[in-house]
Structure 1
Amino acid sequence: MKGKLRLVLATLLSVFLFVSCGGSKEAASGDAKVKDTIVVSDGAEAKSLDPHATNDAQSSRVSVQIYDRLVEQGDNMEIVPGLAESWEQPDGKTTIFHLRKGVKFHNGEELKASDVKFSLDRMKASPQVSHIIGTVESVEVIDDNTVKVTTTQPFGAILSHLAHPTAAIMNEKAVKEYGDSYGQHPVGTGPYKFVSWQSGDRITLEANPDYFLGEAPIKNVIFRPIVEGSNRTIAIETGEIDIAYDIEGLDKDRLRNDDTVVFLEEPSLSIDYIGFNTKKAPFDNIKVRQAIATAINADDIIAAVYKGSGTKANSLIGPKVFGHTDEAKAWEYNVEKAKQLLAEAGYPNGFKTTIWINENPDRRDIAVILQAQLKEIGIDMTIETLEWGAYLDGTARGDHEMFILGWVSVTGDADYGLFPLLHSSTFGGAGNRSFYSNPKVDDLLMRARNSVDQEERKELYKEVQIIVQEDVPLYITAYKAQNAALQKNIENFKLKAAGHHRLYGVKFKSN
């Protein structure tokens, strides 16, 4: 009897470990038919699963599994059908979308054109994400399966912007039913349905059996935030998780050389930047910002923090983004010149300041290097670490002096890479956390946004980049590569250039 009891307890324990961990190598070596849970880990927790409430990467990486958009980005950034099976553009300001029929939301409601209108109108009313479709003037329901989107001016990048994760189509009934708590009860049409959110621990999703492209191969997805990068690496090595995003520092070489896991690394559309609150002294002084830019040795940051997985930047947008120019200024490291600029700004003996970071090891390491480099010109900088939600809220309000953050040109177009970070209409949570305002830049960005002449757009964006690199409201540390580590039994996982990796189609290899 004791032997049987031990056997039962051992069996129950193994089932518990399998369900809670999902990605254990022990489970992977068993019967593939019973492995139906994939565990994915990121460096921070999602802030909200309401696509109109936030635009951070961690939230989007979860929400893209739950929602669909009218159009989507293919593997090469091309626009492909989503909830709209086709569309036409009779003129530069009008796009008519024809919706797929029979698509259902996770609550059983059928997708209708009224849901599309509701979602895009709600997006336009959101301070966090309205800028993404700011040119949209109206959304009109033609019939239950047809929607007309009209822009105020011709806008060549409209389809790219409607493929953005925040342009998710939601169910009007569900949004109104949950009200202010909708971000914790999301309802989409996507391949995975929301199940639960245990704050600080995990978000659980399950496959949508009615998904219009077919049910996902893996039944359950668990997103687990593991803030400390080394712990994410250990979790992959031990099989505690199946996929880890954004492996950092020396751990990248460690996993590259580990033949028990797969390490993927590719160029991305991502940057890291050091920002200045230009509404606060002394950062309202351009020479102070230029002095700091001249005191930074980007090569040290690329070598020490990115371990060579990055290249020196001369703009907010990298070479893979439409509109990038090589003619913008890349700041050169020169301590004596930095001291001279600081003296000209009225701070010959430097000053004290504080830089905000969130719980991100790369940003912590950048801040430590920056702290040492600025000390060389007399600037005494204190590093303050905030929890991710408090960090986003505080920088949106403008409570900070300096900060480190990132941006991804998700659409692959300069409008998205420049407008949110630089235009004076996007102060705070919409993207412009440096509170930078330059009427000339505002004008150039609007002219480029409203043009359908791609060559004209390139010239306008080139001028923006040249001006902004001189004004330096943001210092770009590098153009970053992106990576993920995964167990060897994972198939069909691909890195998305914009960083919002899809799990639909990912499956476990058969033994």
Structure 2
Amino acid sequence: MKKKLLTLTLLLILVLAGCVKTKSEVESDGKDTDAKGDGNGKVKIEVLGMGSGEEDLNIVRDQLIKNGFDVKLNIQPDYGTFSAQKDAGNFDLALSSWTTVTGNPDYAVRALFKTDGANSLVEDAKVDELIDKASRETAEEYTKTYKALEQQLVTDKAYIAPLYNSFKAQGVNKDVLNPDTVRLAKSRAIAWETIDFNDAAKRAATPLVTQQAIGDLTSLDPIKGNDGSINTLNTNMYVRLVNLTDEDEVVSDGSLSYNYAMADGNSDYYFLLRDDINFASVSNDKAIDTGERVGAEDVVFSLDRAKDKDSVPDHRTYSLHEQIKSTEIVTDLAELQKTKQSGSEETILEALENGLETKLSRVVDSKTNADNSKGNYQVVKVTTTEPFPQVLNYLAHQSAGIVSEKQVKNINTYDVASFNVDKDIPYGDQRTVTDGASYDNQLYASGPYILVKKNDYQADFVKNPGYRTGSNFDPKISNVTVRFIDDADSALSALRNGEIHLFNGVPETKYDLVEKADNLLLQMSDSNAVTYLQFNTAGREVSESENLRKAVLFSINQDEFLNYYQGNKKKAYSTVSPLVDTGNELTADSSKVKEFLKAYHEE
């Protein structure tokens, strides 16, 4: 979920910069952008993007011009102005990118293409039907369904035009950090707690210095944002019921649960909770162990608000959790003893007890009564509206981070329906952690780190003193500084000069600079990031004409993108491509372009 468009998740925020008119503000030759031709038979196409994606925009422009279009580039300097132009409808095509940070294909399509998706411009009953059908299927079953979905999205209706699938790369200062402790996961944001210095004596006083492009934070409330400004930060501030491995497997490692189990029928999911994590707060720029345990009550509260679009104003992640029917605390041990696991004769109790030093003797409803050393545990059951195995991936997402029921209720005393953004200060508002008169840090972190304060240049975090103390998941480094560096070249320069220790998002065209530096190591892996062109589906000629959209679609030659990026990209057909091998592939075809343009002119 960065200003460098190649690594941007498709952000859900809207930052208005100045007055945005309803017609394009980009200079043109004065002709109507909706006209079918410019007098020479060329169809006008306006392509919206950011300066950070100028290379891609230029390639798209050249390919469209080659196929007979009259192309106008609407290049905005930053994401705020890009979003404003997009919201105003000043585009035919918008250069977009999406990273499936949950590791499951439902996330790759639901918010983007379902009619009621949080960031969808598509309204198509067949698309909706196929998304819902695939979500109920297992990985062995859903390949055929996602293939049909892709064909509807791309082949049949041309709602998007895919460009490429990116790799994931980061540069590590190996003279400072132990590279073996720095993870590079396919989907999830980087986990800070595992990272360590080569010199362990630096842990307490020297901060780990990393970076991100965006310094304007959407919200430190995990359900109120899903973008590059907060995904990594909230991932490290709030523990979840489960996590993803670097290869996108759902596990309990580093989470609030010892174990989890799916019951027969694939609608009930059980989680056995740990009792060794407390919430942290901030006082005098230091992290304080509040003594308040992170428990089942907080899980129920957090997931109830996550699934309820009206629980907070400007809820931006509810669509990820709308499949949750209920979350409850299990108080009857017999339920665990008699309920079978999905596809097995073993019980839920057997699955939850696997590897425990002390077996369950009692399940308790209050976190203050939990004492794992005596066999007293809390168990949470999540029930979905229908069989939905992919719910586990959503529970690993930062938006499912566990917040303090007590603290959030203390802060969020406003009325949601009449919320006033200028007067009401909700939990997680960045104003409360920003240096200056508005500073009033109210955060309660359940994860390994907590944000102390930020300014325009950086955000400072300290380790949670109540998080898994003495375990392998106790954070190694006490302090983390996140520098806000919006330009990839500047970030790379800071890495090479030793100003930062870790740069996640090294551009494909700059890999060689990292590989040649004696003090740096380039880490590289596959990713779920896909860059594509999104068609405007309202108020433009491309909105009404499938023929016009298909003419644009078959103008796109993905080989030219792969060549430009020196082979450091892969072909894609949709946002599902990195996750499911459907066999679909886009091939540029100028004869089809002519055919569809001819049909468009005859409409």
TM-score (norm 1): 0.58
| 1:318 shift after superposition | 2.5
Counterpart in 1 of 2:513? 254
**1:133-186: CA deviation from partner (whole Å, max 9, x where unpaired):** 221111123313222211111112222221122111111222233334422354
Counterpart in 1 of 2:404? 171
| 1:59 shift after superposition | 1.3
Q: Does 1:95 align with 2:269?
A: yes
| 1:130 shift after superposition | 1.8
Flag structure 2 segments of 5+ consecutive residues without an equivalent. Answer: 1-172, 178-196, 282-289, 310-314, 331-364, 367-377, 413-424, 431-441
Match of 1:191 among 427, 448, 473: 448
Measure the CA separation in 1 of the matches of 2:389 and 2:218.
Answer: 31
**8 Å contact from structure 2 (residues 308, 322) kept in 1:** no
CA 1:149–1:294 in 2, change beyond 3 Å: closer, same or farther? same
Counterpart in 1 of 2:206? 36
| 1:68 shift after superposition | 0.8
**8 Å contact from structure 1 (residues 43, 245) kept in 2:** no
Measure the CA separation in 1 of the matches of 2:520 and 2:225.
Answer: 33
**1:293-331: CA deviation from partner (whole Å, max 9, x where unpaired):** 111222222232x33211111232224x2x4311x2x22
Q: Which residue type is aligned with residue 55 of structure 1?
A: N
| 1:222 shift after superposition | 1.0
Counterpart in 1 of 2:524? 265
Match of 1:240 among 490, 494, 499: 499
**8 Å contact from structure 1 (residues 135, 153) kept in 2:** yes
| Identity value in percent | 29
Measure the CA separation in 1 of the matches of 2:403 and 2:409.
Answer: 11
Give 1:397-412 correspondences, 5 Å limit. Answer: none
**1:383-419: CA deviation from partner (whole Å, max 9, x where unpaired):** xxxxxxxxxxxxxxxxxxxxxxxxxxxxxxxxxxxxx
Q: Which residue type is aligned with residue 182 of structure 1?
A: Y
**8 Å contact from structure 1 (residues 195, 206) kept in 2:** yes
Measure the CA separation in 1 of the matches of 2:493 and 2:306.
Answer: 39
Q: Does 1:303 align with 2:560?
A: no
Give the length in aligned residue pairs: 320
Measure the CA separation in 2 of the matches of 1:129 and 1:39.
Answer: 29
Larger % of helix: which? 1
Match of 2:307 among 112, 115, 124: 124
CA 1:266–1:88 in 2, change beyond 3 Å: closer, same or farther? closer
CA 1:295–1:347 in 2, change beyond 3 Å: closer, same or farther? farther
| 1:36 shift after superposition | 2.1
Give the secondary-structure state (helix, strand or coil) at the position aligned to 1:250.
Answer: helix
Counterpart in 1 of 2:323? 135
| 1:32 shift after superposition | 4.7
Give 1:334-373 correspondences, 5 Å limit. Answer: 334-346=589-601
| 1:347 shift after superposition | 8.8
Give 1:145-156 correspondences, 5 Å limit. Answer: 145-156=378-389
Give the secondary-structure state (helix, strand or coil) at the position aligned to 2:549.
Answer: helix
Counterpart in 2 of 1:457? none
**8 Å contact from structure 2 (residues 214, 228) kept in 1:** no
Counterpart in 2 of 1:206? 462
Counterpart in 2 of 1:84? 257
Give 1:289-438 correspondences, 5 Å limit. Answer: 289-304=549-564, 306-319=565-578, 321=579, 323-326=580-583, 328=584, 330-346=585-601
Q: Does 1:275 align with 2:537?
A: no
**1:341-399: CA deviation from partner (whole Å, max 9, x where unpaired):** 23322399xxxxxxxxxxxxxxxxxxxxxxxxxxxxxxxxxxxxxxxxxxxxxxxxxxx
Q: Which aligned segments of 4 or more residues in structure 1 are displaced greater than 4 angstroms?
A: 23-32
| 1:238 shift after superposition | 0.7
Counterpart in 2 of 1:504? none
| 1:187 shift after superposition | 2.4
Counterpart in 1 of 2:219? 48
Measure the CA separation in 1 of the matches of 2:205 and 2:518.
Answer: 22
Match of 2:239 among 63, 68, 76: 68
TM-score (norm 2): 0.49
**1:97-122: CA deviation from partner (whole Å, max 9, x where unpaired):** 22112421113122221111111011
CA 1:135–1:26 in 2, change beyond 3 Å: closer, same or farther? closer
**1:233-288: CA deviation from partner (whole Å, max 9, x where unpaired):** 11011111111111114322211222221111111122112111212322222222
Counterpart in 2 of 1:106? 280
CA 1:347–1:83 in 2, change beyond 3 Å: closer, same or farther? farther
Counterpart in 1 of 2:548? 288
**8 Å contact from structure 1 (residues 25, 238) kept in 2:** no
Give the secondary-structure state (helix, strand or coil) at the position aligned to 2:293.
Answer: coil
Give 1:436-455 correspondences, 5 Å limit. Answer: none
CA 1:114–1:273 in 2, change beyond 3 Å: closer, same or farther? same
**1:422-447: CA deviation from partner (whole Å, max 9, x where unpaired):** xxxxxxxxxxxxxxxxxxxxxxxxxx
**8 Å contact from structure 1 (residues 88, 95) kept in 2:** yes
CA 1:307–1:87 in 2, change beyond 3 Å: closer, same or farther? same
